[in-house]
């Protein structure tokens, strides 16, 4: 039996894979301050054969069983069986233990819209791809999926394939692919999927507070939670959910948290990225997810900052 990336009997809180955001430096900030139970790489693009796996040196640098003691799941996005199998092997040779297949991304520009959530347009292909990837992966093999391409019940028809193929767990974001990020994540579908499968299901989508997380766990019976945009806006969400810090921070607490978070990210990004412009653009990608109405003014200044120095000055005005 495969070893899951979390300890059995616990309810893991996972940091979501977010392309452009959850790079090694940001993950490292989360590990040091809130220690998610499981973290994911951003998706790694898999080329179609005969070009090979197509994983780059940068991708492979990010591949490991653990990052700073926290299990790291390597996520692949592609659509062709041979190349996904090859990429799974290459990733494992480079040190990965846990592999996840992205079946949810709604922006399928590569592979003619066949990858990510686009895989759900051709479910017949999955009967070949899923068992082949399962066989190629020694550690856990999981799938991150939406409820369907345009039909939120499609997921139910795929559960038997996932079970018989030996998929270890599912991460479910209960929106359809065509829905992109419109409307709300419908965790009634999560609850239904959980009732109909014996696989552990990690619930993901629109969890922005400890109350949201508690409600989703209570109403669905999910095996764990995955936090994306809510955690980018408030890294302490992990500790709020664990009851370690205030579930709803006051204004001053929030200011102090943001100050520490963004200052440290500037330092970490300074080491990872090249030059002020790149650092500034990358840190602004985080700011895009901060929407505290009370901090609207300094956040606007940070978004408009043209230099790291101007950004730091706006950050200074947070306190």
Ligand X SMILES: Cc1cc2nc3c(=O)[nH]c(=O)nc-3n(C[C@H](O)[C@H](O)[C@H](O)COP(=O)(O)O)c2cc1C
Work out whether 148 is an interface residue with ligand X (CB under 6 A): no
Nearest approach in angstroms of CB 213 to ligand X is: 10
Work out whether 228 is an interface residue with ligand X (CB under 6 A): yes
Stretch that binds ligand X, among 45-53, 159-167, 200-208, 295-303 (CB under 6 A): 200-208
Single out the residue of 26, 207, 223, 239 in contact with ligand X (rule: CB under 6 A): 207
Work out whether 206 is an interface residue with ligand X (CB under 6 A): yes
Size of the site for ligand X (CB under 6 A): 22
Cβ(30)–Cβ(235) under 8 Å? Answer: yes
Nearest approach in angstroms of CB 207 to ligand X is: 5
Active site residue 274: no
Work out whether 43 is an interface residue with ligand X (CB under 6 A): yes
Single out the residue of 28, 47, 48, 75 in contact with ligand X (rule: CB under 6 A): 75
Q: Please give, one letter per residue, the 3-state secondary structure of 78-132.
A: CCCHHHHHHHHHHHHHCCCCEEEEEECCCCCCHHHHCCHHHHHHCHHHHHHHHHH
Work out whether 16 is an interface residue with ligand X (CB under 6 A): yes
Stretch that binds ligand X, among 66-74, 98-106, 253-261, 262-270 (CB under 6 A): 98-106
Single out the residue of 96, 227, 237, 318 in contact with ligand X (rule: CB under 6 A): 227
Work out whether 45 is an interface residue with ligand X (CB under 6 A): no
Active site amino acids: 105
Which residues are at the interface with ligand X (CB under 6 A)? 16-21, 42-43, 75, 102, 104-105, 144, 173, 204-207, 227-230
């Amino acid at each position: 039996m495969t070893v899951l990336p979390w300890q059995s009997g616990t309810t893991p809180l996972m940091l979501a894979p977010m392309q452009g955001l959850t790079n090694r430096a940001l993950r490292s900030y989360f590990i040091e301050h809130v220690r998610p139970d499981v973290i994911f790489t951003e998706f790694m693009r898999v080329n179609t054969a005969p070009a090979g796996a197509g994983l780059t040196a940068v991708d492979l640098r990010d591949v490991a069983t653990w990052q700073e003691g926290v299990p790291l799941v390597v996520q692949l996005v592609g659509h062709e069986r041979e190349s996904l199998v090859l990429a799974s092997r290459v990733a494992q040779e480079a040190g990965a233990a846990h592999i996840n297949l992205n079946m949810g991304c709604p922006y399928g520009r590569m592979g003619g819209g066949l990858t990510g959530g686009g895989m759900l347009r051709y479910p017949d292909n999955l009967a070949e791809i899923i068992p082949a990837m399962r066989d190629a992966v020694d550690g856990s093999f999981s799938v991150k999926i939406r409820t369907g391409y345009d039909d939120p019940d499609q997921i139910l028809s795929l559960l038997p394939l996932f079970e018989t193929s030996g998929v270890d767990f599912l991460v479910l974001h209960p929106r359809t692919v065509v829905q992109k990020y419109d409307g709300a994540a419908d965790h009634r579908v999560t609850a239904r999927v959980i009732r109909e499968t014996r696989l552990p299901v990690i619930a993901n989508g629109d969890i922005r507070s400890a109350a949201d997380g508690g409600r989703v766990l209570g109403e669905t019976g999910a095996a764990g939670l995955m936090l994306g945009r809510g955690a980018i806006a408030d890294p302490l969400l992990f500790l709020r959910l664990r009851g370690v810090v205030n579930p709803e921070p006051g204004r001053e607490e929030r200011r102090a948290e943001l100050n520490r978070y963004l200052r440290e990210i500037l330092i970490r990004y300074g080491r990872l990225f090249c030059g002020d412009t790149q650092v500034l653009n990358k840190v602004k990608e985080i700011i895009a997810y901060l929407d505290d109405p009370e901090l609207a003014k300094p956040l606007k200044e940070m978004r408009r900052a043209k230099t790291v120095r101007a950004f730091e000055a706006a950050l200074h005005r947070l306190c």
